[in-house]
Amino acid sequence: MKCFSRYLPYIFRPPNTILSSSCHTEADIISTVEFNHTGELLATGDKGGRVVIFQREQESKNQVHRRGEYNVYSTFQSHEPEFDYLKSLEIEEKINKIRWLPQQNAAYFLLSTNDKTVKLWKVSERDKRPEGYNLKDEEGRLRDPSTITTLRVPVLRPMDLMVEATPRRVFANAHTYHINSISVNSDYETYMSADDLRINLWNFEITNQSFNIVDIKPANMEELTEVITAAEFHPHHCNTFVYSSSKGTIRLCDMRASALCDRHTKFFEEPEDPSNRSFFSEIISSISDVKFSHSGRYIMTRDYLTVKVWDLNMENRPIETYQVHDYLRSKLCSLYENDCIFDKFECVWNGSDSVIMTGSYNNFFRMFDRNTKRDVTLEASRENSKPRAILKPRKVCVGGKRRKDEISVDSLDFSKKILHTAWHPSENIIAVAATNNLYIFQDKVN
Amino acid sequence: MMLSKGLKRKREEEEEGLAVDTWWLDPGHPAVAQAPAATAASSSLFDLSVLKLHHSLRQSEPDLRHLVLVVNTLRRIQASMAPAATLPPVPSPPPAPGVADSLLASSDAALSASMASLLEDLSHIEGLSQVPQPLADEGPLGRPTAGAPPSLGALDLLGPATGCLLDDSLEGLFEDIDTSMYDSELWAPASESLKPGPVEGPGKEETTPELDEAELDYLMDVLVGTQALERPPGPGR
């Protein structure tokens, strides 16, 4: 990794193009962003149930300045709105999560899910076409067999590249509640899907059966006080996974211990700070995202105001806590009133687990360097993103005299929230979703 | 002024009671220092939370996380309002403690009752949609959930388990659904009409009960589309 951290602020250059839909409709709002394991592909899902995959341009001697740009590779409709006739409910087509499978052949595979159904998609290229059929003519019409006097072997001829996405598996009817997470296991044979109260384990080859491995539904729904908010498999140990809750706890489970992992192996919870206690303590402690580090040694959790890093070997408190936007602590009542306090922000690790990133309001996103303990606030906006320019750090003024470049807390736009971000697995390239716009920033230290 | 999508409030009178500031959490605030005012502030937060709870439950499919967090917050507010009844009297004529008391008396019962009934409504709806445990076979690994979709749960009550129509308590939820096709009388004539001639064999009566259940299951499967769903998506990988 380049030692760019010595030259903080993080020098991210905006892309030449900002990828966005031309007209802003509700359906265009991006709901998930995910790089594949090599970083060659970047997938986004939106509220309209569409998946758009971007591919990184190959390096080319002719067009050096275009190296590393992401362009649209494939677009397809993953989920359609459905109607549950029994419950008279409309099932949203919004893509909640996309997870890539590691590449094992020429095709790419990804899982996409809405509230109820997970689908396995195969994305493959076709750049050759067979020509010279015996029984069909060039237009594909069947020929009269009696007119055929000679036989020839069809040959493959090049054609314009066509990328096609086909649904290979549909995993349906296993979730009563809304699916919030999917996670591919390191065995590459199974994956899990988690909803508010249950986690199911699937085999990729079997669609009509799944194993329930966690169930926190109480016998009496009146006793319900906690829901599952996120879940993820350990990156290397295929028997281990974690899930987070609305009460700010994380449970690590070992599938070898018992078939039903209702009893956890480890329980991570930080004691409540009495000085910060308020009516909203529980809501702001609700974990919206949990991610294992690439090394598998740490987990990172995001709650409303902070990002925490936990060592798997220490359950009683996190080893690091980063304040994302502590200036909101005095505004919690307003944020409760307008429901912003329920916003679910995600968090990501960089490839070397040395930097973590998460979003905030006003199209701001934050990066924290775990080694130097320095942090930066950046903004994803068209106005501030001239091509090849450097992103300027932003600062929120909490009180007193506001400096020229600072923005005051009361001027923040809470409708512009960055909930979804992604970091390239090995390079300093980040993808930031701001409503219906996707920003891709690359770090180019020369 | 915060710019964000707000909670849609249908009744205007609600707006006046809902302050946007957090002054009631500031212990140095003179109003907060006096317990009765703090109770009034808690009660406005209480009202807001009840409003949110109702709004959440009015959704066709409530966001469970949102619901649980609001309910838990309501419980916290209720717990904080309880001690106000035992506070020492304030020298100046205090209309507030009386208000607080009556608020508590009504809110305690009201909160418990409203939360209990609201959550019970939810469990009624959710209970209908459960995959019945008896249908799933216990395997060596976890609890394999059978391919039967959760949405079949309610209709399963009509099937082999009971062979009769829904309980009284649940019937009301299905008032608007035409259940005539589930009436057992319909099956006998239907199976009769399949026979070419007017002959009615004794076999009809013997096999009808089994036919009813099997045909009912089939009809349910077709209705909720599981027939289509159980077909594998395609050969190969």
CA-wise closest residue to A439 among A57, A30, A123, A112: A30
| Shortest CA distance from B149: residue in chain A | A173
Task: Write down the residue that tokens 């409303």 correspond to.
Answer: A304
Q: Given B3, B65, B72, which is nearest A415 (Cβ)? A: B3
Distance CA A431, CA A410 (A): 27
A186-191's contacts with Cβ under 8 Å and 24+ in sequence apart are A186/A233, A186/A234, A186/A235, A186/A236, A186/A237, A186/A238, A187/A238, A188/A101, A188/A102, A188/A104, A190/A238, A191/A99, A191/A111, A191/A233
pLDDT tens digit sequence for A156-189:
999 998 999 999 999 999 999 999 999 999 999 9
CA-wise closest residue to A280 among A336, A357, A337, A239: A336
Backbone angles phi, psi at B202, to 5 degrees: -65, -20
What's the number of CA atoms in the CB half-sphere (13 Å) around residue A112? 32
pLDDT tens digit sequence for A103-155:
999 999 999 999 999 999 999 999 888 888 898 887 888 888 888 888 999 99
Work out the minimum CA distance from A260 to partner chain B, whole angstroms. Answer: 5
Q: Reply yes or no on whether the pLDDT at B151 is more than 90.
A: no
Q: Using the beta-carbon criterion (under 8 Å), do B151 and A412 form an inter-chain contact?
A: no
Q: Using the beta-carbon criterion (under 8 Å), do A212 and B22 form an inter-chain contact?
A: no
State the pLDDT at residue A93: 94
pLDDT tens digit sequence for B118-129:
555 545 544 443
| Shortest CA distance from A415: residue in chain B | B4
Task: Write down the residue that tokens 């309002």 correspond to.
Answer: B81
Higher pLDDT, B234 or B139: B234
Is residue A178 within 8 A of residue A195, CB to CB? The reply is yes
Average pLDDT of B138-142?
41
Residue A368 DSSP symbol: E
Distance CA A441, CA A136 (A): 50
Q: Using the beta-carbon criterion (under 8 Å), do A177 and B64 form an inter-chain contact?
A: yes
Which residues in B lie closer than 8 A to residue A340 (C-beta atoms)? 2, 4
Higher pLDDT, A97 or B60: A97
Q: Using the beta-carbon criterion (under 8 Å), do A413 and B1 form an inter-chain contact?
A: no
State the pLDDT at residue B165: 42
Average pLDDT of B78-96?
53
Q: Using the beta-carbon criterion (under 8 Å), do B127 and A86 form an inter-chain contact?
A: no
State the pLDDT at residue A302: 98
Q: Using the beta-carbon criterion (under 8 Å), do A338 and B6 form an inter-chain contact?
A: yes
A240-245 vs A228-233, strand pairing mode: antiparallel
Type of residue numbered B143: R
Which residues in A lie closer than 8 A to residue B224 (C-beta atoms)? 85-86
CA-wise closest residue to B218 among B132, B152, B133, B126: B152
| Shortest CA distance from B63: residue in chain A | A178
Q: Using the beta-carbon criterion (under 8 Å), do B60 and A90 form an inter-chain contact?
A: yes
| Shortest CA distance from A284: residue in chain B | B69
Q: Given B60, B130, B143, which is nearest A176 (Cβ)? A: B130
Type of residue numbered A355: V
pLDDT tens digit sequence for B180-214:
655 544 444 444 444 444 444 444 444 445 556 77
Q: Using the beta-carbon criterion (under 8 Å), do A175 and B150 form an inter-chain contact?
A: yes
Distance CA A299, CA A250 (A): 9
Which residues in A lie closer than 8 A to residue B133 (C-beta atoms)? none
Q: Using the beta-carbon criterion (under 8 Å), do A221 and B5 form an inter-chain contact?
A: no
> So what's the ipTM on this one?
0.89
pLDDT tens digit sequence for A239-267:
999 999 999 999 999 999 888 887 889 99
**Per-chain mean pLDDT for chain A:** 90
User: 10 Å Cβ neighbour count for A148?
Assistant: 11
Higher pLDDT, A440 or A25: A440
